[in-house]
């Protein structure tokens, strides 16, 4: 745990008692602050009281009279679509609002780590898609190379639950727009921007607000190096804003599919080959086609971003390649869960929208596709470029019949439940095919979350294969 100093003897309010809220409360208490906690859920308040924390109803008048700071959980809206009443009350009282990410970066600047021969470094990864895989891949490569590393933030542990970093330690953070939007301190050594596609638009007041939340990590953080995916206009704009000249190698441009050129620092993947160019010449290359844990162009983009971050940390190309080759993938994200009779079974339950499902479809050639669930706005037309890869679709979910109607030109069987879909796909799959769970829909019609859906797929695959 990282103790938060600077608030000794002060009352600091904490709103929202999920993982990040309770972690922040413990860190504040360890640093000498007096946390006062609130959550709308009685069960969460009761648990906090059992842990010895003081509960205060932050919705009542005068709740902020003796409070010097409010720490809020990332899921609580503070501006759009409307400010949470507690946050609005803190504004009215002139009480600063922060989150656990802001506390972490402030603590890092106040620690004794600058006395180390090799101070710890922080790599922060944000973007719409791929940030979990990119963060986990950086962490895995570092560990394989013998570098002490910890993974936290929006993945793994809460950022304040990690151990205080030691000599030459690296902290890899996955940061969502909810986290970067509010943090009062953002000072990573290396910042990574994977890509941008529409998401959380109601929370950020539109696409521009969403990009602005991501951009804060770079514009306000002032990283020593920035790794920027430039396959969208927002990435190209950001890279240009951060560069002072064409040869400025503080910015590493990354692409999946486009050959990048110029005197600066570029990492790109084309036709399955990763290339690193610097000062107009190639200095590294990896054949990604043989790396099973990173299938498809979207994972090749993740690989380029992770490669660039690791190179900025001083690792060599062969060290990074070795880490890539041993990377097994994250659960529920293009995860190979079984192989039998020439058929590969892949769990991509995290593909909860059309964009991510399309990337999964494009990663494999002959697919027995398990899809369906709670369909999101916008329909299924965006899947069209990947449907040529589908031998047959097996549709699950309470709205399976309606979902199947949106799959124009694809043979679709309405299965409704996972057990039926897996059984049918196993029975009909031929050698060389992939049975792929990539739902293109939310899970809440049948499961608590996408993890439970993925676990059900894995269990049924193992049961069907015996």
DSSP, residue by residue, 95-106: --EE-HHHHHHH
Locus of tokens 């059992």: 50
Cβ distance 163 to 150 under 8 Å?
A: yes
Partner residues linked to 339 by β-bridges: 344
Length of the chain: 466
- Compute CA distances 376 → 50, 70, 176, 289, 379, whole Å: 40, 34, 20, 32, 7
Locus of tokens 């400010």: 83
DSSP3 helix / strand / coil % (the chain, rounded to 5): 40, 25, 40
Residue 130 labeled ligand binder: yes
Report DSSP state, residue 277.
E
Residue 32 labeled ligand binder: no
Residue 271 labeled ligand binder: no
* Burial state string for 139-160 with b = 16 or more CB within 10 A and e = fewer than 16: bbbbbbbebebbbbbbbbebbb
Angle between helices 233-242 and 207-219 (to 10 degrees): 30
Cα distance between residue 375 and residue 244, in whole Å: 44
Tell me how far the alpha carbon of residue 390 is from its chain's centroid.
Answer: 27
For CA atoms 416, 419, 422, 426, give the dihedral sign: negative
Locus of tokens 């124009």: 408
Residue 132 labeled ligand binder: yes
User: How many other CB atoms sit within 10 Å of the CB of residue 108?
Assistant: 21
**3-class DSSP assignment, residue 22:** helix
Residue 256 labeled ligand binder: no
Q: Which residues are annotated as a binding site for ATP?
A: 127-133
Residues placed in the known binding site:
127-133
């Amino acid at each position: 745990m990282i103790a938060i100093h600077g608030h000794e003897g002060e009352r600091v309010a904490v709103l929202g008692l999920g993982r990040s809220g309770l972690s922040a409360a413990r860190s504040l208490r360890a640093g000498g602050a007096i946390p006062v906690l609130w959550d709308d859920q009685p069960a969460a308040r009761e648990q906090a009281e059992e842990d010895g924390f003081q509960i205060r109803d932050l919705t009542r008048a005068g709740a902020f009279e003796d409070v010097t700071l409010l720490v809020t959980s990332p899921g609580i809206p503070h501006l759009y679509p409307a400010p949470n009443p507690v946050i609005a009350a803190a504004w009215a009282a002139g009480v600063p609002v922060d989150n656990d990410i802001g506390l972490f970066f402030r603590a890092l600047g106040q620690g004794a780590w600058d006395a180390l021969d090799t101070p710890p470094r922080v790599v922060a990864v944000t973007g719409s898609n791929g940030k979990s895989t990119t963060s986990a891949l950086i962490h895995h490569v570092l560990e394989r190379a013998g570098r002490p590393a910890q993974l936290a933030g929006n993945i793994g542990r809460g950022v304040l639950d990690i151990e205080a970093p030691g000599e030459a330690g690296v902290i890899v953070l996955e940061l969502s727009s909810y986290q970067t939007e509010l943090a009062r301190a953002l000072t990573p050594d290396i910042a990574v921007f994977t890509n941008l596609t529409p998401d959380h638009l109601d929370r950020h007041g539109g696409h521009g607000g969403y990009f602005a939340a991501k951009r804060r990590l770079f514009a306000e953080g002032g990283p020593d190096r920035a790794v920027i995916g430039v396959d969208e206009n927002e990435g190209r704009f950001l890279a240009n804003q951060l560069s002072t000249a064409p040869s400025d190698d503080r910015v590493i441009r990354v692409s999946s599919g486009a050959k990048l050129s110029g005197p600066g620092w570029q990492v790109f993947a084309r036709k399955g080959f990763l290339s690193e160019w610097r000062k107009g010449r190639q200095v590294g290359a990896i054949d990604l086609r043989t790396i099973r844990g990173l299938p498809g162009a979207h994972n090749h983009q993740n690989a380029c971003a992770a490669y660039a971050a690791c190179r900025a940390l001083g690792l060599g190309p062969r060290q990074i390649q070795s880490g890539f080759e041993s990377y097994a993938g994250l659960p529920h994200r293009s995860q190979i869960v079984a192989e039998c009779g020439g058929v590969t079974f892949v769990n991509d339950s995290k593909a909860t929208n059309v964009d991510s499902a399309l990337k999964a479809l494009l990663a494999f050639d002959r697919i027995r596709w398990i899809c369906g669930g709670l369909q999101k706005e916008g329909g299924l037309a965006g899947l069209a470029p990947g449907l040529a890869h589908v031998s047959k679709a097996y549709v699950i979910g309470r709205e399976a019949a309606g979902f199947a109607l949106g799959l124009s030109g694809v043979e679709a069987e309405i299965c409704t439940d996972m057990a039926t879909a897996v059984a049918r796909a196993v029975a009909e799959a031929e050698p060389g095919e992939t049975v792929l769970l990539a739902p293109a829909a939310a899970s809440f019609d049948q499961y608590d979350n996408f993890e439970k859906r993925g676990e059900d797929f894995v269990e049924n695959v193992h049961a069907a294969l015996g």
